[in-house]
Amino acid sequence: MTAVQGAISGPDESVLSGSSSGRGRPRDASRDEALRNAALEVMAEVGYRAFTMDAVAARARAGKATIYRRWESKLDLVIDTCNQMVQRSIPEPDSGSLETDLRALLSGFSAFLTGPAGKAAQALVGELPHEPELAAAFRQSFLLPRRDMLQRILNRASARGEIHGDAPTDMVAELAGATLIYRLMLTGEPLDETFVQRLLDEALLPLLR
């Protein structure tokens, strides 16, 4: 029996038996976290196309049925994992200061990209042009909510009078994320606080003020 087969037939498969109809033990949030961590590790190692639920089950020492009770497909698992990781890394700042909020947002995104989830994120982004379904789900569930968060920050700053009336806020929203991704994936230069401050001082804030 292979490691994957052993994991699939392991005890986890029966632990949540009947959970879809409301019977059995309540869903274990710590188990969800372990499965997401396993998914991140597999994604970082093999990318999306070679990513399988079997591999996640083996890595997490879980039954494959346990995974499918939580996520219907590998696409659902990957997108949910990315969302959970980024929500923890990038809470929405609301300090009452445009510069402070933008710095917090960009620093959080940089930390996410260069942290434990960074390799998985790079593998995912690199495969988006070849996976239309993944690209559409990633855009809808991951990119647009982050862009909307930035837009809310800009809207609050505008209401406080920190942004001039014809500021290109849509361009700023795209430029902020694209610059970090470019630096991460193409130049390999550090995404540190010094760079975040330069991005603010030399590009974003001059466009807004």
pLDDT per residue over 90-141, tens digit each? 889 999 999 999 999 999 989 888 887 778 888 888 889 999 999 998 888 8
What is the reported pTM? Answer: 0.76
Q: At what angle do helices 74-89 and 98-114 cross, to 10 degrees?
A: 130
Burial of 187 (0-12, 13-18, 19+ CB in 10 A): exposed
Q: What is the largest CA-CA distance in the chain?
A: 66
Residues 6 or more apart in contact with residue 76 via CB below 8 angstroms:
none
Burial of 21 (0-12, 13-18, 19+ CB in 10 A): exposed
Beta carbons of 106 and 200 less than 8 angstroms apart: yes
Q: Where in the chain is the domain with CATH 1.10.10.60?
A: 3-70
81-208: CATH, from 1.10.1060.10, 3.40.50.300, 3.40.50.2300, 1.10.357.10: 1.10.357.10
Q: How many CB atoms lie within 10 A of CB 18?
A: 10
Residues 6 or more apart in contact with residue 158 via CB below 8 angstroms:
167, 169
Identify the segments of the chain with pLDDT beneath 70.
1-27
Whole-number pLDDT of residue 26: 58
Whole-number pLDDT of residue 11: 34
Whole-number pLDDT of residue 27: 65
CA geometry: angle 179, 141, 20, nearest 5 deg: 150
Q: Where in the chain is the domain with CATH 1.10.357.10?
A: 81-208
Q: Report how far residue 76's alpha carbon sits from residue 92's, in angstroms, rounded to the nearest whole number.
A: 24
Give Cα 22 to chain centroid, integer Å.
30
Tokens of 12: 């986890």
Whole-number pLDDT of residue 14: 32
State the fold for domain 3-70.
Arc Repressor Mutant, subunit A (1.10.10)
